[in-house]
Amino acid sequence: MSVLLVDPLDAPDSRPDESSWNRIVDLGLAGVGTYRRWADQFRCPVSTLNSLRKGFDDVWRIRNLFAAGRGRLLDSRGLDWWEILSIRLTEQLETVILLQRLVETVSGDEIYVSRPGFHAAVMQNLLHKRLHVFPSRRSHRRSGLIHYIRAARKLSVSQIVDVLCDKYDPGYRLRAHIPHSRRASEAPVVLLPTAYVNVSRTGVAYAGTLPQQNFLLVATRRSGWLKTLPSNVAAAWLSSYAVARDRSAEAAEIALRWRALSRDLIEFKEFKILNDLGCFAQFPRELRHGLEVRDAWGNVFDREPVQAVLCADDSNPYTGIPLLLARERGLPSVACHHGALDGYYAFKSGWADVILAKGKMEQDYLVQSCRVAGETVEIGAPATLMPSQRSQWSHDLSRSQILFISEGYEVGDARAEEFYRDVLPPLADLALSTGRGLIVKLHPTESRGERMKMVARILSSRQMKVTQVIAGPLTGALLDATWFAVTVLSTVATECAMRGIPCFLCKWLEYWSYGYIDQFVRFGVGISLSDPSEIKKIPQRLEEYEADPGVSANLWQPVEAERLNELLNCSPKVFSKVPA
């Protein structure tokens, strides 16, 4: 048999000189309609690498792999750099596990991969000479230039600056020389580390629970900066605390231990593959940059009167470091997550004293699904992020909009345009037939211009007349006008549920192994759809829909000011109750 493995950047017909296949496997993920077209065009079965996932079985395998290296790369402050940086290997390890599973299904076949890349390299490692990889049709230099031009078109100026800084100045060596005039805080502050806007908003929302306590928001990149802040929150750049100095001796000592550790890690097949592919080669460089970032955070603690840390993204190595430094200094620390659920807690050790879950659904997920120690998890959402008083949901035309909540699907090797092809046309048809509009609400990481072009390629001119693509924060006015919402998986689903708005989840497009949709459905956050054909039946399902008033309590229970004050060890005089 001839088997074609299609890279996420390709389509099967991108190689017109090769058109006879006995089987096609998509290394990315598209919609049902896409695979029907491919199967009809090439007259062969079509499957996906994603279909080989085994949920949390894969998660526990990765967790055990990470555990093999812990305690071996401690720095002078007691930070474990394998634990800090290894989480970046999660997606690569998951891909290796899936490709090992795929190899078991193609024994004796002729295997072709549509382009060079990580997937092709892993398959080459597993199959040796039995793999055929189509070469790139453009010169490497030209294709690389085109790639960067296309990528830049999808980004704002601020995002481009972040990308360049992440690539060329990750340890703040250059930005350390930029003069900053900010004066240190005089009163004790709670440190809010951030790299992204949603993380910043979550931290600031908790600050609203203690309006008389001072907080300091420190951003590692521009995407975490907020232009407007409440009076009890100050902001600073982490780069303003960076100092250029020689760390070569400490880096060399840890690098020596890394070489010993890597020899042990490659006893595991998955790590051996990553090592063979050169994935471990960058670890010493990342370690050097990590020490630079560690010292910048250390200077925050040295220069500012930090009394506690509240981190809304400890899955990010660079914003999780302050939790470890707080532990080293004996300061209280609290972790939480800026979204609805975070499956990465299945991999992480407990860096914070307490993890705040926003409600029973998140608490159950952390303890039962991710196996986080129950005694470290408390329920306590930020009061000031609660939705305002909701209007009564109804099935009539007073709810004038259908809301599709989009995401940056490409991060998970998903084909965003093919996702849209499954979902948007039937939603636009429903909007037309019921006299409503269709709103495509973008995630902060998505480019409105790029997504608008995508939508225009998919919808007819008639469908486009009732469709809007919008960016920016989700407003209460839009939710009040929403008839129903559809998403693959978005935190916005919880906002809809709290307002009694029915939200339908595209289960067939789920591309994570962490059981998010199942958890949403179990707690009444969303209604599962198993196929795009079910979208047209949504109006009939809405005839029988009744919002469950108990769902809101399971999703969002605000932390009491007294308890947050206790966790952060604030002075008893600095807190007051937040108005109901």
Which has the closest alpha carbon to 442: 481, 461, 402, 469? 469
What is the span of the domain harbouring residue 419? Answer: 401-555
Domain boundary among 145, 166, 193: 145
The reply to whether 431 and 537 lie within a common domain is yes
What token pair was written down for 114? 């549509």
Beta-strand runs (E) in 514-580: 527-529
Question: Residue 264's pLDDT is what?
Answer: 96
Q: How many domains does the chain have?
A: 3
The reply to whether 180 and 127 lie within a common domain is no
Which has the closest alpha carbon to 381: 173, 555, 192, 162? 555
Question: Residue 247's pLDDT is what?
Answer: 86
Q: Please tell me the distance from the alpha carbon of residue 486 to that of residue 407, in angstroms, as a whole number.
A: 12
The reply to whether 70 and 17 lie within a common domain is yes
Domain membership of residue 271 (yes or no) is no
**Residue pointed to by tokens 């051996």:** 272
Question: Residue 149's pLDDT is what?
Answer: 46
Domain membership of residue 161 (yes or no) is no
The reply to whether 194 and 321 lie within a common domain is yes
Domain membership of residue 157 (yes or no) is no
Which has the closest alpha carbon to 172: 245, 221, 242? 242
The reply to whether 431 and 517 lie within a common domain is yes
Identity at 186, one-letter amino acid code: E
For 30-46, letters b (16+ CB in 10 Å) and e give: bbbebbebbeeebebeb
Domain membership of residue 196 (yes or no) is yes
Question: Residue 575's pLDDT is what?
Answer: 35
Q: Are 445 and 416 in contact (CB under 8 A)?
A: no
The reply to whether 359 and 416 lie within a common domain is no
The reply to whether 320 and 415 lie within a common domain is no
The reply to whether 289 and 300 lie within a common domain is yes
Domain membership of residue 525 (yes or no) is yes
What SS3 string covers 278-304?
CCCCCHHHHHHHHHHHHHHHHHHHHHC
The reply to whether 200 and 290 lie within a common domain is yes
The low-confidence residues of the chain, meaning pLDDT below 50, are 139-149, 151-152, 389, 571-580
Q: Are 250 and 75 in contact (CB under 8 A)?
A: yes
Domain membership of residue 107 (yes or no) is yes
Domain membership of residue 366 (yes or no) is yes
Q: Is 375 left (phi over 0), alpha (psi -120 to 50) or beta?
A: alpha
What token pair was written down for 313? 């993204």
The reply to whether 457 and 328 lie within a common domain is no
What token pair was written down for 484? 């129903």
Domain membership of residue 415 (yes or no) is yes
Give every strand in the sheet of 401-405, ordered side by side.
467-470, 437-441, 401-405, 482-487, 503-506, 527-529
The reply to whether 119 and 22 lie within a common domain is yes
Q: Please tell me the distance from the alpha carbon of residue 544 to that of residue 525, in angstroms, as a whole number.
A: 16
Question: Residue 170's pLDDT is what?
Answer: 65
Cβ burial of 408 (10 Å; 0-12, 13-18, 19+) is: middle
CATH number at residue 452: 3.40.50.2000
Dihedral (CA of 82, 87, 93, 98) sign:
positive
Q: Which strand (E) or helix (H) includes residue 143?
A: helix 140-153
Q: Are 7 and 112 in contact (CB under 8 A)?
A: no
Which has the closest alpha carbon to 195: 28, 84, 280, 317? 317
The reply to whether 90 and 190 lie within a common domain is no
